[in-house]
């Protein structure tokens, strides 16, 4: 066993302690004891001088490490995620080859002063260490190799100005740090920065951060504007603004030629957006209750995803028809939006959701959207017509539940899943007879239906749900459905003499 290099005891719940003899495995390089039940490690573990990787993830009974861990001079990665460890022994300062420290989800209260002596340390992940408080110490600047610092959802409240001296720092995550009040000047090496700062009244200086590719600001409730200097972040690819008190974004954002993804979320005072950069791939405007005006989107020739959710004042989507490479469109809870002119031109669309848009009565002719496999048009209370669906040979799923004004089933071709539940005015289902590909039909709560057409052609139908169809009198052809496995006819008081075919689960 002295030549053993890898020992894995992952998931050994009955492993409550390691024997002292573990120290004799002097050739061990990789020791994985994730999710074991041990409460402590033996001092002899310090004899594993060749060990490079020690993982104790999810060892929920582990509360401390022995001082002898500092003897493991070859250790490059230490994983203490989701343990009960509250402090690290000062001897960790002797782990001169340590590159990665994962202690996320633990009970860590503070970093030992000796940690900042580790010149080779590249990654520190203390995410969700809810007992970690106060300021990170000035000695942080000694970590000259540090590339990633993750302190999200901790109680850290400030950072020293010395953080600007971390010349190799690429990623800084301070999301969910509710006590954070200010940010000092940050190193220009940063590529990714995520920040939550409830008390921050102004943005930190962005002018030096010319290497930033991802910038996320959330729950900075006192911030009322994004500084124009954001337009100087020419390498920025992703920008997320969430829960800020801004009314718009600066016009300079249009100069961000590398920006691929823009998300504006929960900014309840935002009213409009400026002209957006032409290279944008994804645009998300969600939960912006005062939002009224989109810019003309016709310049966004590369846009592949557009999401507009809970924009209660939005009335139009200008330039929609010019988004020729749009693959995913979601419009949810935009009650003032009455039309979607241009939708009929989006031939590359593969995902379409139009939901809770009360003012929409008719969708454009969708006959050219031949790549569309699924259409969600639910909860549109005034929607009465969706033309062109019969031309969509690839359309397999149609969701139109709670479209309470829909009276007639649209013409369809190869649909397999059809959800029309609670379409209270739906009564004309004459097109249903020809849907030989149909596998699931949900008509629950469609109270205007008195008779279904003859279903005998629907030989692939496996599930039929008509519960709550209070006026339904009969289901012709039911006995001929050889593939049927589930039938729900509960709360259909006028249905009489419905058979219970073998292999069919009937709910009455």
Domain presence at residue 418: yes
CA distances for 317 relative to 266, 298, 309, 339, 371, angstroms:
20, 10, 13, 9, 22
Alpha-carbon torsion, ordered 319, 325, 330, 336, to 10 deg: 10
In angstroms, the CA 449 to CA 42 distance is: 73
Domain presence at residue 39: yes
Domain presence at residue 231: no
In angstroms, the CA 8 to CA 32 distance is: 5
The predicted-structure confidence for 426-440, as pLDDT tens digits, reads as follows: 999 999 999 999 999
User: How many angstroms from the chain centroid is the CA of residue 452?
Assistant: 41
The predicted-structure confidence for 161-195, as pLDDT tens digits, reads as follows: 888 889 999 999 999 888 887 888 899 999 999 99
Spatial CA neighbour of 369 closest among 419, 323, 428, 319: 323
Which residue pairs, CB below 8 angstroms and at least 24 apart, start in 411-420? 413/389, 416/440, 416/460, 418/442, 419/378, 420/446
Domains in the chain: how many in total? Answer: 2
Cβ-based neighbour number of residue 339 at 10 Å: 17
Tokens 């340590």: give the residue: 98
User: How many angstroms from the chain centroid is the CA of residue 235?
Assistant: 24
- Rg of the Cα atoms in the chain: 30
| Domain termination residue (choose one: 131, 162, 188) | 131
The CATH number given to whatever domain includes residue 110 is 3.80.10.10
Tokens 């729950």: give the residue: 219
In angstroms, the CA 490 to CA 428 distance is: 22
In angstroms, the CA 458 to CA 128 distance is: 53
In angstroms, the CA 166 to CA 481 distance is: 70
Tokens of 4: 């053993």
Range of the domain at 93: 1-131
| Domain termination residue (choose one: 131, 156, 181) | 131
The sign of the CA dihedral 33, 36, 39, 44 is negative
In angstroms, the CA 274 to CA 362 distance is: 29
Domain presence at residue 205: no
| Domain termination residue (choose one: 92, 115, 131) | 131
- List, run by run, the mean pLDDT of 10-residue segments along the chain (508 residues): 80 75 88 83 91 93 92 96 94 95 95 90 96 87 93 90 91 90 89 87 82 93 86 96 92 96 96 97 97 97 98 97 97 97 96 97 96 96 95 96 95 95 95 95 97 95 96 92 95 84 86
Helix, strand, or coil (residue 456): coil
In angstroms, the CA 30 to CA 73 distance is: 14
What is the bridge-based pairing of β-strands 148-150 and 505-507? unpaired
In angstroms, the CA 245 to CA 250 distance is: 14
Domain presence at residue 56: yes
Spatial CA neighbour of 404 closest among 388, 425, 378, 430: 425
In angstroms, the CA 350 to CA 397 distance is: 12
Tokens 């691929």: give the residue: 260
Residue 20, pLDDT score: 85
pTM: 0.91
Domain presence at residue 286: no
**Could you say which DSSP state residue 243 is in?**
S
Cβ-based neighbours of 497, under 8 Å, separated by 6 or more: none
Domain presence at residue 91: yes
Residue 1, pLDDT score: 65
Tokens of 208: 């030096």
Domain presence at residue 382: no
What is the bridge-based pairing of β-strands 374-376 and 282-286? unpaired
């Amino acid at each position: 066993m002295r030549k053993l290099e890898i020992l894995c005891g992952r998931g050994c719940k009955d492993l409550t302690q390691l024997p002292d003899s573990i120290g004799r495995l002097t050739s061990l390089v990789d020791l994985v004891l994730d999710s074991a039940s041990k409460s402590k490690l033996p001092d002899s573990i310090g004899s594993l001088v060749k060990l490079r990787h020690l993982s104790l993830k999810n060892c929920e009974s582990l509360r401390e490490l022995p001082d002898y861990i500092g003897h493991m001079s070859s250790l490059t990665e230490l994983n203490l995620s989701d343990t009960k460890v509250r402090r690290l022994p000062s001897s960790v300062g002797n782990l001169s080859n340590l590159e990665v420290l994962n202690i996320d989800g633990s009970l860590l209260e503070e970093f030992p002063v000796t940690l900042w002596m580790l010149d080779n340390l590249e990654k520190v992940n203390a995410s969700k260490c809810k007992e970690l408080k106060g300021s990170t110490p000035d000695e942080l600047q000694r970590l000259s190799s540090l590339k990633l610092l993750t302190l999200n959802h901790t109680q850290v409240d400030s950072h020293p100005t010395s953080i600007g001296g971390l010349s190799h720092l690429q990623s800084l995550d301070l999301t969910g740090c509710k006590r954070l009040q200010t940010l000092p000047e940050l190193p220009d090496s940063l590529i990714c920065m995520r920040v939550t700062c409830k008390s921050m009244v102004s943005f930190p200086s962005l002018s030096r951060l010319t290497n930033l590719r991802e910038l996320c600001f959330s729950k900075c409730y006192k911030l009322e504007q994004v500084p124009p200097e954001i337009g100087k972040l020419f390498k920025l690819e992703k920008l997320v603004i969430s829960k800020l008190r801004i009314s718009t974004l600066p016009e300079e954002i249009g100069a961000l030629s590398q920006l691929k993804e823009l998300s504006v979320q929960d900014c309840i005072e935002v009213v409009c957006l400026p002209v957006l950069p032409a290279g944008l791939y994804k645009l998300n405007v969600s939960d912006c209750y005062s939002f009224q005006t989109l810019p003309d989107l016709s310049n966004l020739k590369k846009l592949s995803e557009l999401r507009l959710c809970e924009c209660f004042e939005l009335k139009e989507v200008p330039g929609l028809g010019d988004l020729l490479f749009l693959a995913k469109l979601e419009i949810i809870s935009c009650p003032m939006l009455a039309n979607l002119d241009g939708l009929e031109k989006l031939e590359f669309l593969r995902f379409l959701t139009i939901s809770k848009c009360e003012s929409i009565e008719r969708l454009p002719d969708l006959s050219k959207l031949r790549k569309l496999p699924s259409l969600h048009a639910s909860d549109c209370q005034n929607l009465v017509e969706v033309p062109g669906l019969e031309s969509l040979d690839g359309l397999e799923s149609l969701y139109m539940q709670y479209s309470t004004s829909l009276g007639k089933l649209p013409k369809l071709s190869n649909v397999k899943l059809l959800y029309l539940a609670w379409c209270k005015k739906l009564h004309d289902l004459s097109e249903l007879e020809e849907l030989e590909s149909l596998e699931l039909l949900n008509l629950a709560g469609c109270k205007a239906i008195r008779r279904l057409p003859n279903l005998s052609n629907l030989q692939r139908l496996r599930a039929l749900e008509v519960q709550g169809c209070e006026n339904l009198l009969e289901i012709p052809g039911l006995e001929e459905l050889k593939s049927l496995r589930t039938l729900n006819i509960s709360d259909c008081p006028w249905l009489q003499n419905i058979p219970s075919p073998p292999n069919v689960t009937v709910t009455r």
